[in-house]
Structure 1
Amino acid sequence: MSIYVGNLSYEVVQDDLSAVFAEYGTVKRVQLPTDRETGRLRGFAFVEMGTEAEETAAIEALDGAEWMGRDLKVNKAKPREDRGSFGGNRGGGGGGGARTGGNRGRY
């Protein structure tokens, strides 16, 4: 069970977020992702609650609520999409098409 919390202040700390969600039940885990290059918070978090009922209560109470000067976006976290390896599965296999064939010798 995981909740997505968006539009967070960049000043938020894990303990503060945990305390807010603890009002609705047991907080099992709080994850505050950071930017790999700068180490700065990314403005969102994931919170795991003890039960689905606690999760639902927190979402209903906190979605749209103002906290630390911002209106929170709180909903069930969606499973992370598998982006695949570099190049992905975007159909076509990459560029280079314009440089092949009939354009040879026109440079």
Structure 2
Amino acid sequence: MDSINRNHHQHVHGETNTGTALQDGIILLLSRWYALQLAVQNQWGGCDSLQKFHHLVAELLSLFSKSNAPVPVEDLENLLHESMLLTFNTEIEDGSIEQ
């Protein structure tokens, strides 16, 4: 997703992107998720879909950064499912969230 890759160094949550390895990894993985790519490219979350993508990156970064303990898979799946449903108006039933 070219627009995501080109713009991932823009502001996230009002702070500049620090280019951390974790954040870069999250962006890379999400930019390869076909369902999310479609949602952003087709603006299923509205005209600010790219900003919503960056908000999701920030949410995931926060989830992984706030604790030294491993993040339960169920918490991650729930966050992704809710984000796709509520933010991008997209119901994911292809198993890609679990992947």
TM-score (norm 1): 0.31
Structure with the larger strand share: 1
TM-score (norm 2): 0.32
**Structure of greater Rg:** 1
